[in-house]
Amino acid sequence: MQNLPAPRPWTSADEATGPALPPLTAPEGPPPHGLFAPAELTPELWREAGKRLLAKMVAEFSYEGLFAPRP
């Protein structure tokens, strides 16, 4: 495994020059109909998917030892 150098600390000079990449901006106007929210994905289904994703994240983070959940 290759050792990489530590990142350079942030300085006040960095604040003056700003970020190296341009800021991301959203496209103007509404998204095309149906592209981001198909009719079969109701708010209830999104809520259930979010709960399952959160449960999976807690399980994965617990397994990796990032935190220990308490009842």
Q: What is the pLDDT of residues 21-50, one digit of tens each?
A: 666 676 677 766 656 667 788 889 989 999
What pTM value is reported for the model? 0.45
Question: d(Cα 39, Cα 64) in Å, to the nearest integer?
Answer: 37
- Residue 55 has phi, psi (to 5 degrees) of -60, -40
Helices (H), the chain: 12-17, 43-63
Percent of the chain surpassing pLDDT 70: 62
Residue 67: give the domain boundaries: 39-71
Averaged pLDDT, 9-14 = 68
Residues in Cβ contact with 68 at an 8 Å cutoff, skipping those fewer than 6 apart: 62
DSSP character at residue 67: -
Is 68 part of a structural domain of the chain? yes
Is pLDDT above 90 for 20? no
Radius of gyration of the chain (CA): 21
Is 21 part of a structural domain of the chain? no
- Count how many domains the chain has: 1
